[in-house]
Structure formats: C-alpha cells, structure tokens
Amino acid sequence: MKDGRNIIIAALLVAVLTMSIGYAAFATTLNINGNAEITGTWDVKITGIEATKTTGDADGGEPTFTNTSAKFDAELTKPGDSVVYTITVQNNGSIDATLTTFQLTPQVDGSEAINYEYTEPEKNLTAGSSTTFTVTVTYDSSVTEMPDVLTRSATGIVEYSQAE
Amino acid sequence: MNLNNIKEKKLLILIISYLIITILLSFNYYHLYINTINPLFFLIIIFYSIYELKKSYIRFKDSNNYNFKMFIIVIIYLVFLFNLGFIIGYARSPYSHTIRGIIKNIYQLVIPIIGIELIRGILIVKNRNNKGLIFLITLILILLEVNYWALFSNINNPERFFQYFCSTILPLIFSSSVYSYLCYHTSYKLPLIFRIFEIAFQLLLPIYPNINWFVTGSIGIIVPIIIFFLFKYRYFKIKNNDRKMKSNKFGMAFSIIFAIFLVAFMLGFFKYEMVAILSNSMYPSYERGDIVIYEKINDLELQNIPNNSIIVYTIGNQIIAHRIVDVVEENGTIKYRTKGDYNNAPDSRLVSLEQIKGVYVLHIKYLGFPAVWLNEFFNKEEAVVETK
C-alpha cells in the first residue's frame, strides 16, 4: 500500500511540476483580463448608473452596466450640451477592496466633438461600503460646424484588488 | 433532541446565539463583524476545540487512509480547476499576496473555516446516533457561513440575487451536507483537508480561472457530490451491498456524468449549443418556449450559408434566430438579410459574419419555457433568448 501511495504522490508532483513549467512558459502569452470573480468573499460590482444632470437639449439615453463595466450612450444636439452620469460601485463581499483602475474608453469612430471627463473614484472600498463617481459627456462648445457623426458611446471598466 | 453531554449542549447554544448575532451585526456593523468579531470568535472556538479534542481523542480505523484519499481528491480537483483556465481564460486574483495580506487573509478567512469544521467535528462525531441533531448542526453551520450582507444587498436585483444564490448559497448547502456526512463516518479532518487546500489555492495563486457564476455554482455542486459518491460507494466499506445499493450507485454515477455533460454543453464546449425562444416571430417553424439547437460553423462555412437557412446571431446581448432571405455584399463583405417567418418585413439591420453564432439544426418543443419564465421574471430585455 505504501509503495502504491508513493507512486501516486510522485505522479501528482510530476503533473503539478509539469503544469507549473507549462504555466511559466505560457504566462507571457496568457490573456489575463480583469479581476477573477471569486464568489463568496469577493462581490465588488457596479450597482447603478444614471444620468443625474443634463444641460441644454442633451439626452442621457439608457446607460447600461454589467458587474465591472458601464456603457453610456449620450445624444447631444448642440455645442455646450452635456450629460453627467453617476456610477455607483458597491463592495458586498467580505474583503476590503481598493479600486485600482477606472478606465474610460470612448468609441473610436464616434464624434470627435463629444468629449468625456470623469472624476476619480474614492479608492478605498471597505467591505459593505459603496462609492460613486461621475462621468461628464460634453458637446465641445468651440465647434462651429455640424459634425458628420453626432453620437459617441464610451465604456468604463472598474478594476480592484484587496486593500492592505 | 438529546446531546450526549452538557458541554456539547452549551457549545450548540453558543453557536445558535452567535448565528443570531451574525445576522444582526451583518446589517449595521458588517465591517466590524467581518474584520474583527468573526475571526476572533472562531479563534476562541479553535482553542477550545483543540482542548476538547485532545481530551477525548478517538482514533478511527483507516483514518490516515481516508485522509490520504481526500488529499489526492483535492489535488486532482485543484489541478482540474487551474487547467480550466486554459479553456475559459484567467483573471487576476484580487487577493493581496504580500506577507501582511496573506496573514490578514489567514486571520479573516482561514480561521473561520477551521473553527466551523472543528465545531462540526466535535458535535457530529460525539452524536452519531442522533441524525436529527446532525441535520440541525449542518443547517446551523450553513447559516453561519452565509454572507447576509451580500445576500440582502443583492435582493433588490432578481438577476443578481439568482446568480448569487446559485454561485454561493447552493454550493454551500451541498458542500456542508457532504462535510457532515464525511464527519459522521470519520472525523473533522476530511472536510478540513479539502477546505484548507481549496482556500489556500484561492488565496495564494496570483491568477485564477476566469469562471463566471454558472461555472462556480456548477463546480460547487458537482464536486461535493463526486466526493460523496467516492466515499460512500468506494472508500467507506459499508456493509449494505444489496441490489438497491448498486442501483443507487449507478443512478448517482449517471447523474454526475449527465450534470458534467450539461454544464459543458451550456458553456459551449461542444459543436452544438442551444437557445430558448422568447417570441413567436418564427411561427410556425418554432415558437415561444421552444429550444433551438444550433451548430457552430467555421469561417469558410460562414460565408456560404445557403439562402433560406435559419441562423442564430447576436445583436448586443440579444441572441436572435431568424431565416436568411437574401445575401448582400456591402463594401466587399458578405452580409445576410434576415426575417422572422411570422413577420411581414425583413429585419431592419443586416447581419455581419462576426455576429453569427451558428446554423439551426433542430428544435425541441416546450423545453425552453423555464428559461423564458425566468427571463420574464428578471424582466431583462437583452436576455439570451431570441426576440422579435
């Protein structure tokens, strides 16, 4: 029985070792995106987004969100129009988190006359707390000619890690 | 409900009291509870349990043999879980990997696990004859591990609540029941071995398989059942080798294989996938509540889908299954014009090749209704169902 056990342990160690070498070799090409959803202890999510302020004839549309990303789709009709979106991120998990990244990527082929700005979110997000931050979409007031494209969406991505 | 001695009775009352305190503190003092009170309580429980277990240590026959088997099982499970990342992808683990972070995580996450398993060990091992009590202990330990803050925070959003329930609460019920079963036959060590390795894997690895709530929930249910199956039918030599036992064994083995197959199918590991139909836009070919099975096709086949075929494609988060009525070439690329059989006019937007998920193979009547009802319950327009 003991010999049998030794063989199994040896086989396991060889398998894990092989896997580790493979991992080291593949690590540079692995596509590692965002945060792992380790349920139970981690539950940091975007819980809401709404257009809280509109200026001029702007229409905030119907912004959507997933657990870690929010998508805005503003329609601005004249220079100076703007929409302010307020996004709420909540930590329902049991670990204190720090928001490490908030990335806002405006649509590449959208109107260049539409600009996005955002306030930096509160970094510390202790277990059971929430934070809000704003994204402002503005139709450039210096534009004098009507652009071809009048819409530009943007996607915001939130990333987090454990607070020390 | 009789407990064998007064100390165990006191321990059970203490745990029930602590469960009530847990629920109350989860709302107003969650941060204090999760960072300080909970680990401290279980640290005291650990010291008490070690003292108690030392005093009345019972060595079980084949104990080391079972522990070794559990060690092998957990290593195989973790290797499988890690390798799943090569198929599904990896994501950064949010856990801190500094010495301070690791110590903090041991205090906050590992100590409660050890405490819970020691309580299970003390209470179950000494009350083997009382199955009602074992059920009660298991129930209390399940309730003790629920994160009430997260549970009630998600309650306003039915979709998130459903996902949270499936990925966290259901696996908790399954795993805790199996841990109690293992404890009943051996000691606290078997569940403890499994749980310590599992949490160490989560805490220490810099990357983690990027599994969603569905995979997390499926693994959390299937793995405890496999462990139960292995110990019940292979390792514990229970003298009850009659025909019914054999029939149960094959029934359970078949169920496990079917569950794994179903999860793999839902995740799209096979050439065929399915989608539930939400509207009657394709009536009479198929209708609301049916399931359409479609075949995934390669890039070459995508460009040569015959007219009149039914294709399954996406627009945003929606999945639509409509018939091709025309092939259009736009700026040198092929696009398909689609139409629902029941609709008067073709769909407004052309379908590009990258939107196409596959080609209709067959449909099964009524099987999609649970998904349709669930979708309506969640009131989610962009659901993974075909819409008009």
Buried b (16+ CB within 10 A) or exposed e, B344-368: eebbeebbeeebbbbbbeebeeeeb
Q: What is the pLDDT of residue B91?
A: 86
Residues A94, A145 share a domain: yes
Same domain, A27 and A55: no
Q: Backbone dihedral region of A123: left (phi > 0), alpha (psi from -120 to 50 degrees) or beta?
A: alpha
Task: For residue A102, give the H/E element and its range.
Answer: strand A97-106
CA–CA gap between residue A131 and residue B381 (Å, rounded): 27
For residue B260, being part of any structural domain is answered with no
**At which residue do the structure tokens 């000691």 appear?**
B187
Mutate to test the interface with B, among A29, A41, A44, A101 (most CBs of B within 10 A): A41
- B75, closest residue in chain A (CA to CA): A12
Q: How many CB atoms lie within 10 A of CB A91?
A: 28
Q: Do A106 and A60 belong together in one domain?
A: yes
pLDDT tens-digit map of B324-359: 999 988 777 888 999 999 888 898 888 888 889 999
Q: Give how far B329 is from chain A: nearest CA, Å.
A: 22
Please state, as a whole number, how many other Cβ atoms lie within 10 Å of the Cβ of residue B19.
16
Most confidently modeled of A60-64, B170-174, B380-384? B170-174
**B87 and B204 both lie in a single domain:** yes
- Eight-state DSSP code of residue B353: G
Q: Which residues in chain A are contacts of B202 at CB distance < 8 A? A: 38, 41
- Asked if A106 and A26 sit in the same domain, the reply is no
DSSP state of B167: I
User: What is the per-residue pLDDT for B58?
Assistant: 63
Six-digit token string for B128: 């083997």
Residue B250 inside a domain? The answer is no
| CA dist., res. B85 & res. B271, Å (int) | 20
A109 CA: distance to closest CA in chain B (Å): 17
Residue B285 sits at the vertex; the CA angle it makes with B281 and B290, to the nearest 5 degrees, is 75
Task: Say yes or no: A157 and A101 in one domain.
Answer: yes
| A8 and A60 together in one domain | no
Q: Do B101 and A34 touch (CB under 8 A)?
A: no
Residues of B in Cβ contact (< 8 Å) with A159: 92
Residue B60 within a domain: yes
CB contacts of B75 in chain A (<8 Å) are 12, 16
- What CATH code is carried by the domain that includes residue A140? 2.60.40
Q: Residue B119: pLDDT band by 50, 70, 90 thresholds?
A: very high
Q: Is residue B137 part of a domain?
A: yes
Contact in structure between B90 and A32 (CB atoms under 8 Å): yes
Residue B249 falls inside a structural domain: no
Residues of A in contact with B82 (CB under 8 A): 19
Domain shared by B288 and B153, yes or no: no
> Hey, which residues does B363 pair with through a beta bridge?
B292
Interchain contact, A5 vs B91, CB within 8 Å: no
Q: When comparing pLDDT for A27 and B325, which is higher?
A: B325
- B266 three-class SS: helix
Residue A147 is assigned to a structural domain of this protein:
yes
* CATH number for the domain harbouring residue B358: 2.10.109.10
Nearest chain A CA: its distance from B150 CA (Å):
5
B307 and B214 share one domain? no
Which of B92, B103, B104, B106 is most worth mutating to test chain A (most A CB atoms within 10 A of its CB)? B92
* Structural domain count, chain A: 2
Are residues B150 and B21 part of one domain? yes
The Cα A111–Cα A151 span in angstroms is: 6
| C-alpha distance across the termini of chain A, in Å | 47
Rounded Cα distance between B188 and B115, Å, is: 10
In this prediction, residue B251 carries a pLDDT of 79
At residue A12, the pLDDT reads 58
CB contact under 8 A, A127 and B34: yes
Per residue in B246-297, pLDDT (tens digit) is 777 787 888 888 888 888 888 778 888 888 888 888 988 888 889 899 999 8
Cα B378 to Cα B306: distance, rounded to the nearest angstrom: 36
Q: In three state form, how does the secondary structure of A133-163 look? A: EEEEEEECCCCCCCCCCCEEEEEEEEEEEEC
B143 and B290 part of one domain: no
Kindly state whether residues B217 and B277 are assigned to the same domain: no
Q: Are residues B30 and B87 in the same domain?
A: yes
Same domain? For A16 and A76 the reply is no
Q: Which of B315, B302, B310 is nearest to B282 (CA)?
A: B310
Residue A39 lies in a domain: no
pLDDT in tens, A76-91: 878 888 889 888 888 8
Chain B contact set for A45 (CB, 8 A): 160
**Quick one: which H or E segment has residue B272?**
strand B272-277
In this prediction, residue B195 carries a pLDDT of: 96
Q: Do B21 and B130 fall into the same domain?
A: yes
Say if A150 falls within a structural domain: yes
Q: What is the pLDDT of residues B177-223, one digit of tens each?
A: 999 999 998 888 999 999 999 999 999 988 889 888 888 988 999 99
Nearest to A29 by CA among B196, B193, B90, B274: B90
Look up the domain containing B289 and give its range: 272-386
Q: Do B189 and B312 belong together in one domain?
A: no
Q: Model-level pTM?
A: 0.81
Are both B118 and B178 inside the same structural domain? Answer: yes
Mark whether A95 and A137 lie in a shared domain: yes
3-state secondary structure B122-162: HHHHCCCCCHHHHHHHHHHHHHHHCCHHHHHHCCCCHHHHH
As for how many domains chain B has, the answer is 2
Nearest-CB residue to B79 (from A16, A38, A39): A16
Residue A155 lies in a domain: yes
Q: Verify whether the Cβ–Cβ distance B150 to A93 is below 8 Å.
A: yes
Which residues in chain B have their CB less than 8 angstroms from residue A37's CB? 91, 210-213, 216
Is there a domain that residue B125 lies in?
yes
**pLDDT tens digits, B43-55:** 999 999 888 877 7
More confident residue, A84 or B236: A84
Contact indicator for A127, B38 with CB cutoff of 8 Å: no
List, in order, residues 6 or more apart from A90 with CB less than 8 Å away. Answer: A44, A45, A46, A47, A129, A130, B153
Q: Do A30 and B207 touch (CB under 8 A)?
A: yes
Residues spanned by the domain of A7 = 1-32
Q: Which of B238, B257, B282 is the last residue of a domain?
A: B238
Instruction: For residue B106, report the phi and psi dihedrals to the nearest 5 degrees.
Output: -60, -45
Q: How many CB pairs under 8 A join A and B?
A: 119
The answer to whether residue B371 is domain-embedded is yes
* Confidence label for A20 from pLDDT (cuts 50, 70 and 90): low
B137 & B179 share domain:
yes
Distances (CA, A) of A40 to A44, B302, B363: 11, 41, 37
* Angle at B368 (CA atoms; ends B366, B371), nearest 5 degrees: 140
Pairwise CA distance, residues B371 & B22, whole Å: 35
Is there a single domain that holds both residue A144 and residue A80?
yes
CA gap B275, B287 in Å, rounded: 12
Tell me whether residues A39 and B153 touch, CB distance under 8 A. Answer: no
CA B242 to chain CA centroid, nearest Å: 33
Cross-chain residue pair B207–A32, CB shorter than 8 Å: yes
The radius of gyration of chain A's CA atoms, rounded to the nearest angstrom, is 23
First to last CA, chain B: 59
- Mutation site for B-interface testing, chosen from A31, A92, A125 by largest number of B Cβ within 10 Å: A92
The ipTM, to two decimals, is: 0.70
Q: Which residues of A touch B (CB under 8 A)?
A: 5, 8, 12, 15-16, 19, 26, 30-45, 47, 64, 90, 92-97, 126-129, 159-164
Which one of B35, B100, B154 has the shortest CB-CB distance to A92? B154
The answer as to whether A56 is a domain residue is yes
Same domain as A22, residue A103: no
Question: Would residue A133 count as lying in a domain?
Answer: yes
Q: Is residue B266 included in any domain, yes or no?
A: no
pLDDT tens digits, one per residue of B217-229: 889 999 999 999 8
Burial tier of A29 (Cβ tally within 10 Å: 0-12, 13-18, 19+): exposed
Same structural domain, A90 and A136: yes
Q: Does residue A109 lie in a domain region?
A: yes
Q: Are B210 and B287 members of one domain?
A: no
Structural tokens at position B176: 């805790």
> Is residue A38 situated within a structural domain?
no
Banded pLDDT at A9 (limits 50, 70, 90): low
